[in-house]
Structure formats: structure tokens, C-alpha cells
Amino acid sequence: MPAPPGVAFPRPAPAASARTARAEYVERFDVHQRIQHILMLASFTVLALTGLPQKFDQLGLSQWAIAVLGGLETVRLIHHSAAWVMLFDCAYHAAYLIASVAVKRRLPLGAFATPRDFVDAWRTLLYFLGLSRKKPAYDMFTYLEKFDYFAVFWGIAIIGGSGLVLLFPVAVTAILPGYLVPVSFVAHSDEAVLAVGWILVVHMFYAHLAPRVFPFNTSIFTGLARRDDARREHPRWIARLAKDASKDG
């Protein structure tokens, strides 16, 4: 699942201070972000498992899956239910962003790209190719994590939008042109394959297989990251936390 939104807190949120007081850990995701990730993970998995067999219905495996789940009509019902869960999750996230602005009086920009991210990406490439000895120091979220997050925005816009067109084709075409339905058909299934491919290859690698986190990066579920790990992976974030703490001090 893509990294949930980062709200780059200037200092540890007060409620979290008790947990993070154990200096070993730093708070990385608050409770809303963790719930949002679980909802996204669950709905995405169900949507993929009920959607892919419909796209690749000629495969024996798909036909087996559809039969096991109780036939195409049931599969579609499950797919639509999971879609509503995902849309709810998006609404929850939008409300969360708005609330963060209202309460904290600042835009939660931590997970949005900055020019620095492009520099980081370039320098990481140099490092991968052996043209640089050192990896750049990342902030709370690396450029790749930010891309993961941003990809959900575009993914939801395309898959969610086209999905709603397919769910209400008659109502939609009453206002918009009819060719939108076959366009949505193409967009929905192709973008879904992209999303599933990305999750399986890139997201799963960085959440589970990458040597730094193997076998499982738990911070999106516990909300906590080990300070040592974070210092290595997100040095600029930890440095900022330390600076803020001393300023408050």
C-alpha cells in the first residue's frame, strides 16, 4: 500500500509523547494514518482479487476464483462493496487533511514533493550506479515514498472516477457523452493492472524484501519507527526532531 499521508510535525504530537518517550522509538504515523492504511490495504486487496479475475476471465484460475466466490454477480457485489470502503477511506483522508489544516494551522506538506526530492532522486541514482559514494540524506519521507503517496491520488482519481462511471453508466451518460463508458472501461482495468503491478513489485519490495526492512516494516501498523533505523533512513527528519526538541527544551 502506498505510504499514507505524511503530516510533517514540527514536534512530536503531545499525545504521542508518552509512547515516544521511550527514546528508542519515534512516532512516524498517527492513529488516523494507520487506520487509513489498513482500510486502503484491505479494500485494495479485495478489489484486486475480485477485479483481476474479471479482466482476465479467460484464465482457468480466474474462472476458478469466480466460482469459489459464488459467481460473477457475487464477485461484482463484493467488488462494489470494497470500492465504497476505499472511497470512504479517501473521504476520511480528505477530512483528515482539512482537519490538520484547521487545527494545526499549517498545510501538511510533509508527503508532497519539493524540489529537493528531485535532487534526492538524481543523487540516489548516482549512488546506485556507483558514481557517488554516499546516499543522500532523506527527510521524513523519501522521494519514492512521496511518489507512492502521490500515485494513490492519481490512481484513485482514475480508478475511482472510471469505476463510478461503470457503476452508474446510465446516469453518467445522461449528462456526459456516451464514449466515456468505453474510455472508463479501458482506464479502469489498465490503471488497475498498473496499481497492482506497482504494489507487488515496488511497494512490496520496500515494505518487506528490502534488506533494510526484511522481513517486515511494521511502522505503518505500530506507528513507530526505531530511532536508529530512522536516523539512517531519514536523517534530516531525525535531525529536525532533535532541533525542535532542543528549541522547546
Q: Is 63 in the site for other proteins (CB under 8 A)?
A: yes
For ligand HEC, the closer of residues 78 and 181 by Cβ is 181
Contact status, residue 230 vs residue 242, Cβ threshold 8 Å:
no
* Cα–Cα distance for residue pair 103/94, rounded to 1 Å: 14
- Collapse the DSSP code of 238 into the 3-class scheme (helix H, G, I; strand E, B; otherwise coil) and give the result: helix
CA dihedral of residues 73, 78, 83, 85 (deg, nearest 10): 150
Q: Who contacts 30 (Cβ-Cβ below 8 Å, separation ≥6)?
A: 7, 13, 16, 223
113 makes contact with ligand HEC (CB under 6 A): no
Least distance (Å) from ligand HEC to the CB of residue 103? Answer: 40
Instruction: Return the residue of 38, 49, 85, 181 that touches ligand HEC, per CB under 6 A.
Output: 181
Q: Residue 123: exposed, middle, or buried by beta-carbon count in 10 A (0-12, 13-18, 19+)? A: middle
Rule CB under 6 A: is residue 169 a binding residue for ligand HEC?
yes
Interface with ligand HEC includes 161 (CB under 6 A)? Answer: no
- How many angstroms separate the CA atoms of 79 and 204, rounded? 23
User: Interface mask (CB under 6 A) for ligand HEC, residues 75-94, using x and -?
Assistant: -x------------------
Binding mask 135-174 for other proteins (x = CB under 8 A): xxx------x------x-----------------xxx-xx
* DSSP structure string for 56-80: TTTSHHHHHHHHHTT-HHHHHHHHH
Q: Which of residues 7-46 bind other proteins (CB under 8 A)?
A: none
Q: Which does 103 bind (CB under 5 to 8 A by kind): other proteins, ligand HEC, none?
A: none
Distance CA 150, CA 5 (A): 9
Per CB under 6 A, 172 contacts ligand HEC? no
- In three-state secondary structure terms, 25 is strand
User: Does position 55 bind ligand HEC by CB under 6 A?
Assistant: no
Q: Which residues of this chain interact with ligand HEC, rule CB under 6 A? A: 76, 166, 169, 181
Q: Which residues of this chain interact with other proteins, rule CB under 8 A? A: 54, 57, 63, 66, 71-73, 123, 125, 127-130, 133-137, 144, 151, 169-171, 173-174, 176-183, 185-187, 190-191, 193-194, 197-198, 201-202, 205-206, 210-211, 232, 235
